[in-house]
Amino acid sequence: MSQAIAEADTAAPKDTTLIYRQSRWTRLTHWLWAISLFFMLLSGLQIFNARPQLYIGKQSGFGYNNTVFAIGAENTATGPRGYTEIFGHRFDTTGVLGWSGPAGQETSRGFPSWATIPSYYDLGTARVVHFFFAWILTTTLVVWLVASLINGHLRRDLAPRLDDLKRLPQDIVDHAKLRFHHTREYNTLQKMAYGGVLFVLLPLMIITGLAMSPSMNSVLPWLNELLGGRQTARTIHFTVMLLLVGFFIIHIVMILAAGPINELRSIITGWYRTDPPAHDDKPAERSI
């Protein structure tokens, strides 16, 4: 019975442009990572609110001049105002960063309540949520990496080939013009973007997260020194978060531009509609 269900799930339909592109495992990890990153982001902003400043170096405080980013509030002639300071340049961000809340109930806080989990200040709960989903993300990422090495998914589908690099300039032009080619294989920009997230950003986020944990000092005492101190690791961790948010925004824009129904169907059911093949094209024989 189970075998029949599995065969039905991957059985090719009569429409030859509809292919089975994403395996069950790929779809499962995709959504697990998406959910985990969502809760890690919002709980991480709550944790950041406990000390809404970033530094470079091993020390921090009033006696050091190594602040690179800060969110705060100050009293002015017109009342309290929120500000964001980046490398010494200050911007008024009242109502969003530094000073926010319902009219008449504004308070001094880094990120607003609607952007944090929980919405009220609760550092303990935020840490529990953050670490819970961090372990889910880390575990599934390691399992995915091992499985992809064994089944050849990395080599076959994600590693850029010489032909991919040759097509990179044209691929950039096509994306800039929102001209997409729906094929079984990932295009060059997709391979580079997914590779950057999976093998650079996510591992770096995990490593810097471990470096910030005092309990890891006895297990990996060299990690903190390698990253330039706990404060530098925290700054890198925050920067990686911003890059992941940027990737997510671009990812959503590309999905909407390329055809949201087709793209969502692929990552939910596995089936993906490709461009009609040319007369001299041979039918594809493999699936991702």
Backbone angles phi, psi at 243, to 5 degrees: -65, -40
Least confident of 8-12, 191-195, 197-201: 8-12
So what's the pLDDT on residue 213? 83
pTM of the model: 0.83
Least confident of 5-9, 56-60, 153-157, 267-271: 5-9
Long-range contacts for 1-5 (Cβ within 8 Å, ≥24 apart)? none
Confidence of residue 240 (pLDDT cuts 50, 70, 90): very high
Across the strands, what pairs with 90?
Answer: 85
So what's the pLDDT on residue 134? 95
Give the integer Cα–Cα distance in Å for 169 and 158. Answer: 18
So what's the pLDDT on residue 108? 94
Burial of 3: CB neighbours in 10 Å, binned 0-12, 13-18, 19+: exposed
Helix 123-151 and helix 24-49, axial crossing angle in degrees, nearest 10: 150
- Quote the percentage of the chain above a pLDDT of 70: 88
Backbone angles phi, psi at 80, to 5 degrees: -60, 140
What is residue 189's three-state secondary structure? helix
Closest CA to 240 of 214, 277, 278, 207: 207
The answer, yes or no, to whether residue 185 has pLDDT greater than 90, is no
Confidence of residue 278 (pLDDT cuts 50, 70, 90): low
Q: pLDDT per residue over 44-55, tens digit each?
A: 999 999 999 999
So what's the pLDDT on residue 29? 92
Domains of the chain and CATH, by start: 2-50+120-273 (1.20.950.20), 53-110 (no CATH)
Mean pLDDT, the chain, rounded, equals 86
* Contact between residue 97 and residue 112 where contact means Cβ atoms under 8 Å apart: yes
Token match 């920067």: residue?
A: 239
So what's the pLDDT on residue 7? 45
> DSSP assignment of 125-136, as one string?
HHHHHHHHHHHH
Q: Are strands 79-86 and 67-76 parallel, antiparallel or unpaired?
A: antiparallel
For residues 234-248, give the mean pLDDT.
95
What is residue 165's three-state secondary structure? helix
Residues of 198-232 as b/e, b for ≥16 C-beta within 10 angstroms? beebbbbbbbbbbbbeeeeeeeeeebbeebebbbb
So what's the pLDDT on residue 40? 96
